[in-house]
Amino acid sequence: MIVLGIDPGIANTGWGVVEGGPRPRALAHGTVKTSPRSAPEQRLAEIHAVIDEVLSGHEIAAMALEELYFGRNTSSAVAVGQARGVSLVLAGLRGIPCHSYTPQHVKQAVCGRGSADKSQVQRMVGALLGVQPSTDHAADALAVALCHVQRAPLASALKAAS
C-alpha cells in the first residue's frame, strides 16, 4: 500500500509518500511553501498544483491527513482548513480514500508517546524510514503516512469482522 501523508498549512504544506510493508520506506517527500504576499487563492492553487503532481507520480492507495487543531487563532485555523480541503478535493476527484489523524495519534504511532516534540518526530521518521526530511512539515507528513500504514491493517480487520 502506498500512502500520501499531508501536513496541511497555507504557508507550508508538507507531503510524504510512504510504501507500507514489513519495512516501510519513503518514496518521496517535500514541502509546498507559499508566499504571504500572494493572494489566498493563488497560495491554494500552488498547493493544488504540487499535490496533484505528487498524486500523478505515484499509485496512491490512501491519503492520510493531520486533523485540524483549533487553537485560539481562528483565522489561521480557517487557512489551514482551506489547505486541507485542497488535498481532500484532489483525493475525492481520484477516488482515493482519506483518513484523518490527530497530532497526538501521529506522535503516539511514530514516537510511542502523544506528547513528543517536533525534533523527536523528525528523528523517529529518519530512523524508521532512513531519510532526513529537510523541513518539520515534510517530517510531519511522513509521520502521518506512517501512522496510517501502521493502523490500516487493524482498521481493515475490524471492518471485516463487523
CATH number for the 2-161 domain, one of 3.40.50.150, 3.30.420.10, 3.30.70.100, 3.30.420.40? 3.30.420.10
Instruction: Please state, in angstroms and as integers, the Cα–Cα distance from residue 77 to each residue in 19, 74, 137, following that order.
Output: 30, 5, 16
Rounded to two decimals, what is the model's pTM? 0.92
- The 10s digit of each residue's pLDDT in 93-132 is 999 999 999 999 999 999 998 889 888 999 999 999 999 9
Question: Looking at the predicted structure, is the pLDDT value of residue 137 above 70?
Answer: yes
The ranges assigned to domains in the chain are 2-161
Q: How far apart are CA 23 and CA 31, in angstroms?
A: 24
- The 10s digit of each residue's pLDDT in 40-64 is 999 999 999 999 999 999 999 999 9
CA geometry: angle at 129 spanning 159 and 131, to 5°? 145
Quick one: pLDDT at residue 127? 93
- The 10s digit of each residue's pLDDT in 58-99 is 999 999 999 977 666 677 788 889 999 999 999 999 999 999
Residue 105's nearest CA partner among 142, 62, 67, 132 is 67
Cell of 141: 507528513
The stretch 11-31 carries a mean pLDDT of 96
